[in-house]
Amino acid sequence: MESVTSRFLRYAAINTASEPESKSSPSTARQLDLSRMLKDELVELGAKDAELDEYGYVYAKIPATVSGAPKLGFVAHVDTSPDASNKGVKPRIIEKYDGGGITLNDERSIVMSPSEFPELADYIGQDLIVTDGTTLLGADDKAGVAEIMALCELLLSPDAPPHGELAIAFTPDEEVGRGTAHFDVERFGAEFAYTIDGGKLGEIEYENFNAASAKVFVNGVSIHPGTAKNKMKNAVLIGMEFNSMLPAAQTPATTDGYDGFYHITSIVGEVEHCKLGYIVRDHDKSLFEAKKERLRAIERYLNEKYGEGTVSVEIKNSYFNMKEKILPHMHLIETAKSAMVESGVEPLIQPIRGGTDGANLSFMGLPCPNLSTGGHNFHGRFEYIPVQSLEKMVEVMRRIVEKYSAAK
């Protein structure tokens, strides 16, 4: 069988960056390069009903070898973040990491330092897959893809442990918030599932942010600065005033754990027009709604101050905290915990300071918490994943499958 590491290295070399401004599904055609490969590999392995639909979703079934087991699913996304270069990814393995700085690119003097990334100390003696310092690695979420594919090969082999039917899906566009836009829960056919899309080995996540995006539009009045007194309305200054009215202690750089935040992602403009982009996050639903109301309250205040129509705010919900949908199915969390313990992995249950396809899937009727891939420093040049974590996650998923197969 092909190792999970070999699979990951092959998949990581394919540029699958998604595009937030694209209106197509998938947002980029290059994602299909990997999706087609996965569909073909599933067919070759002997998966049932393997198909790639018109939106870039790959679906397949692993036939049951025992009857009566619940239908379990695993999901990962093929796209990678557009936040860093995806062109010419060149992963390499640092064997038996010695605990020192890792020179990613000697020519450009790019070094991953344990003083900056102290969690590297946890992996001394292990084999680390790293970048060449010019691109991201793509472990988010090609590590999850490789781990699921390695599990599929194992369960379709002659030596497979007894198991129920398994549903597999690989989605596009998770990184731009559209990973479940065309997901067909009925076609997928599972009773419940896990996304394999987390970070450090051992993570189990069933709480995530409630999330919204916001756009603030400011309309100003341009007058020659020599005669502008009491006439000019500088849209850029009003935009800055809008931002100054948000709590300074509620930004990503000042919060952690269950704390929510406002995050300004862009500001562009001139005297007559200014546009600000935000994302709004909170685990608590009432605090989430209060944050959105604060944006509307600032809009009302500035329109009273500068005239109606000066400021307009558009808010769009992105996803909600899956906790309420997982609580009735806590067997998913307990099963994952026991599978990790039996695999020699310490479970780490924590809230996601972000989102996951599993959140939307849970609200679509498919309870779907998130499990680790083993990777670190996603979306940038210092991304890495230990080979041993890739291998261990395949073992964890195998044990999960075996536990549900025995629960028939």
Catalytic residue, candidates 41, 79, 205, 282: 79
Catalytic residue, candidates 41, 140, 147, 174: 174
HEC readout, the chain:
CCCHHHHHHHHHCCCCECCCCCCCCCCCCCHHHHHHHHHHHHHHHCCEEEEECCCCCEEEEECCCCCCCCCEEEEEECCECCCCCCCCCCCEEECCCCCCCEEEECCCCEEECCCCCHHHHHHCCCCEEECCCCCCCCHHHHHHHHHHHHHHHHHCCCCCCCCCCEEEEEECCHHHCCCCCCCCHHHHCCCEEEEECCCCCCEEECCECEEEEEEEEEECECCCHHHCCCCCECHHHHHHHHHHCCCCCCCHHHCCCCCCEEEEEEEEECCCEEEEEEEEEECCHHHHHHHHHHHHHHHHHHHHHHCCCCEEEEEEEEECCCHHHHHHHCHHHHHHHHHHHHCCCCCEECCECCCCHHHHHHHCCCCCCEECCCCECCCCCCCEEEHHHHHHHHHHHHHHHHHHHHCC
Respond yes or no: is residue 308 known to be catalytic: no
Respond yes or no: is residue 357 known to be catalytic: no
Active site residues: 79, 174
